[in-house]
Each structure stands twice: as structure tokens, then as C-alpha cells.
């Protein structure tokens, strides 16, 4: 596809008319498809191409969107992809990489320079791993080194102290926890880096599907703790990447 500058030169020379140029310029920004519209201009505006949310989408819907992104020379990431849909897409597109733990699908056609500093992804418990891996895979998709620190929740806080220096070495820390959601506050009081807290829907009845953890994190007494939505590993990984590359 021609660049906008090239199209303007063609109009100026009379090689194409304004209507043709307008149609091609519009295609630079948006690509309407049968059931979706791809925002091709997002990378220019935000530094990262559109990401496909795969939840409640068929394999065909995910595949079409990802291929439209790749066709423009951009890397494609889909989140919340079911195993069934992912297997169907990988069978068609062997270049796609499916991670069943994080429920992500990646088509990476180019790799940028690695960030010089790392993102730490810390979990309170093994049950938080799915959300944590969504965060980790997202940060890695944007070429950030990721340090994984698993199962260091407050019920056995000595486990955290064994890894605290590793966590301090990262430039930004993602902390993933369910139950009462206490771990981000503890880590926030021990590190001099921004902490992104991710509440998960892990817990018994009064956890209310992650609401208890969310409220606990929002009420953290530790400074420097920000909070994303329940189970939003992608949002945490994306934000961590932005911070790490400032």
C-alpha cells in the first residue's frame, strides 16, 4: 500500500483523482470487514498496533482480524482465545504461537530492540498463574524482558523475602493476587518502582469473584500502587511495557 505522501504526489501529478486518493487514505486508517473494523492507525497514535480480544469470538473472526493486522506489517496479539479456536487457527497458520496457560495467540513477524530494563510479574499463588501469564506474554510481545516470581503470597511471606532483591531489580512490578489481595500493598512498601496490582477472581464466596481483592488493592496504604480491572493481565502487561520504555 502506498504512503499518504505518495498518494498526495499522485494527486498533484494528476495520476489519480481525489476520490481514489481519499479511498486509499481512508484504508490507511480503518479497514471495515464483515464483522469488525481494524484500526490500522493505532500504532502511529499509540506506538502499538490493535490487539484482538478473542473472548466470545469464533476462530474465523480472530483469524481474519489477526491476518489483517499482519498484512500491514504489524505484529498481532489476540487474548482470551479458547483452546478450540487457537488450535483451529494454528492448524491454518503455523506461524502463530498459542500459549494455553495465558490463552494468547501471537503472530510476530518482526522483533524490535529489547528494552534495557525488565518487568517483574509476581503472583501470590499458583491459581493466579493464568492472569499473570497473560501479563507476562503481553509484556514480552512488546519486547520487554520479563522476570517471573511465582507463589510468594502473604500466607508464607518468607517466600517473598527470598526473592525481593530480584523484584527490586525490575523497572516496574506487576503483582497478581486473588483472595484478599494483600500482596501488592506489601510489595509496594518494599520497592522503589511502580507497582501495577492485578486482582484475580480467585477465592471463596466472600471474595465475590475478585471484588474483595480489587477493593483491597484500591484501598492500599502503600504509595505507588495502581490497579487494573479484575483478571486484566493484558492491561497490566501493556501498561508495564509503556512505563518500562519511557
* pLDDT > 80? residue 169: yes
What's the chain's length in residues?
Answer: 246
* Better pLDDT: 37 or 184: 184
pLDDT of the residue at 41: 72
Whole-number percent of the chain with pLDDT over 90? 72
* pLDDT > 90? residue 110: no
Which CATH code fits 119-244?
3.40.50.1970
pLDDT in tens, 63-107: 999 998 898 888 999 999 999 999 999 999 989 999 999 999 999
pLDDT of the residue at 157: 93
Instruction: Tell me the average pLDDT across 155-175.
Output: 96
Place of cell 525488565: 118
Instruction: Tell me the average pLDDT across 31-42.
Output: 72
* pLDDT > 80? residue 150: yes
pLDDT of the residue at 30: 59
As a whole number, the mean pLDDT across the chain is 90
Q: What is the DSSP string of the chain?
A: ---HHHHHHHHHHTSS-HHHHHHHHHHHHEEE-SS-EEETTHHHHHSS---EE-TT--HHHHHHHHHHHHHTT--EEEES--HHHHHHHHHH-TT-EEETTTTEEEE-----PPPSS-EEEEESSGGGHHHHHHHHHHHHHTT--EEEE-S--GGGTHHHHTTHHHHHTSSEEEEEE-TT--HHHHHHTT-SS-EEEEE-S-SSGGGGGGHHHHHHHHT--STTEEE--TT-HHHHHHHHHHHHT-
Instruction: Tell me the average pLDDT across 115-133.
Output: 96
* pLDDT > 90? residue 34: no
pLDDT band at 112 (very low <50, low <70, confident <90, very high): confident
DSSP annotation of 238 reads: H
pLDDT in tens, 190-210: 999 999 999 999 999 999 999
pLDDT of the residue at 7: 64
Residue 179: left if φ>0, alpha if ψ -120 to 50, beta else—which one? Answer: left
* Better pLDDT: 227 or 69: 227
Amino acid at each position: 500500500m502506498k504512503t499518504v505522501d505518495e498518494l498526495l504526489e499522485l494527486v498533484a501529478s494528476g495520476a489519480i483523482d481525489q476520490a481514489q486518493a481519499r479511498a486509499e487514505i481512508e484504508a490507511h486508517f480503518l479497514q471495515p470487514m464483515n464483522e469488525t473494523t481494524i484500526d490500522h492507525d493505532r500504532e502511529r497514535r499509540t506506538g502499538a498496533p490493535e490487539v484482538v480480544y478473542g473472548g466470545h469470538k469464533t476462530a474465523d473472526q480472530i483469524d481474519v482480524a489477526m491476518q489483517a493486522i499482519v498484512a500491514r506489517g504489524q505484529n498481532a496479539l489476540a487474548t482470551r482465545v479458547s483452546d478450540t479456536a487457537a488450535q483451529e487457527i494454528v492448524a491454518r497458520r503455523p506461524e502463530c504461537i498459542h500459549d494455553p496457560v495465558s490463552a494468547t495467540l501471537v503472530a510476530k513477524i518482526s522483533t524490535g530492540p529489547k528494552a534495557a530494563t525488565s518487568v517483574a510479574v509476581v503472583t501470590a499463588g499458583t491459581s493466579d498463574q493464568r492472569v499473570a501469564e497473560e501479563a507476562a506474554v503481553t509484556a514480552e510481545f512488546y519486547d520487554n524482558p520479563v522476570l517471573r516470581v511465582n507463589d510468594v503470597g502473604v500466607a508464607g511471606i518468607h517466600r517473598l523475602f527470598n526473592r525481593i532483591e530480584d523484584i527490586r531489580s525490575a523497572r516496574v512490578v506487576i503483582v497478581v493476587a486473588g483472595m484478599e489481595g494483600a500482596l501488592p500493598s506489601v510489595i509496594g512498601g518494599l520497592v522503589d518502582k511502580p507497582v501495577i496490582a492485578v486482582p484475580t477472581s480467585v477465592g471463596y464466596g466472600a471474595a465475590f469473584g475478585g471484588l474483595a481483592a480489587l477493593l483491597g488493592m484500591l484501598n492500599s496504604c502503600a504509595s505507588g500502587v495502581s490497579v487494573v480491572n479484575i483478571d486484566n493481565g493484558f492491561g497490566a502487561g501493556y501498561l508495564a511495557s509503556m512505563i518500562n520504555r519511557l
